[in-house]
Amino acid sequence: MNINTINDGNRQCAIDFFVQHWGSPIMVIASGTYNCSELEGYMATDESGQTVGLITYKDRDGRFELLSLDSVVEKRGVGTALMVAVETLAKQKGAKAIHLVTTNDNLYALGFYQKRGYVLYKLHKDAVKKARLIKPEIPFVAENQIPIRDEIECVKYIV
């Protein structure tokens, strides 16, 4: 697996990945609306050059926010490697913390993040209802049958 910075040379691969896996590169969360294909981030590729994961983030003067993390292969270290790349950069830039948001239904992500040192920070009640006003294709119920309503903000403090 290779981890590379998203740049002009591979940005179309990132756009294609978002469209294939999310239907669109547009993400709407409590902190704003983002076109993930325009954000800074890292891309994971396998031995054949196929994109197997992406992470995007925003650096707001040393306050890092992870905006997307997606891996198409589970339990092979792709997500962890992408997170480590951003955490390493954040630390180099002197960031004190990294924030991220996931929805209440995403139990797998909540476990994944907490195992990697992130703690629950803030509940954004009914945030997804507001997001649907901008992006109406957001489903009301997840595949696990949990209603998608709230956003849960997590944070990892950098030592």
Retrieve residue 46's tokens: 């396998």
- Give the residue ranges of the chain where pLDDT is below 70: none
CB 99 within 8 A of CB 106: no
The reported pTM is 0.90
Cα–Cα distance for residue pair 122/125, rounded to 1 Å: 9
Give me the DSSP letters along 7-69.
-TTTHHHHHHHHHHHHSSSEEEETTEEEEGGGSEEEEEE-TTS-EEEEEEEEEETTEEEEEEE
Residue 47: CATH number of its domain: 3.40.630.30
Retrieve residue 61's tokens: 């003067």
Retrieve residue 126's tokens: 């009914």
Amino acid at 39: L
pLDDT at res. 63: 84
* C-alpha to C-alpha distances, 11 to 16, 20, 23, 25, 54, nearest whole angstrom: 9, 14, 16, 12, 11
pLDDT at res. 40: 95
pLDDT at res. 30: 81
pLDDT at res. 23: 82
Task: Identify which of 16, 29, 92 has the alpha carbon closest to the alpha carbon of residue 65.
Answer: 29
Q: For residue 28, which phi and psi values (nearest 5 degrees)?
A: -120, 120
Domain range enclosing 37 = 2-157
pLDDT at res. 53: 95
**Average pLDDT along the chain:** 93
Number of domains in the chain: 1
Contacts of 34 (CB under 8 A, 6+ apart): 26, 27, 28, 56, 58, 67
Interval 20-51: pLDDT, tens:
988 888 888 888 889 988 899 999 999 998 99
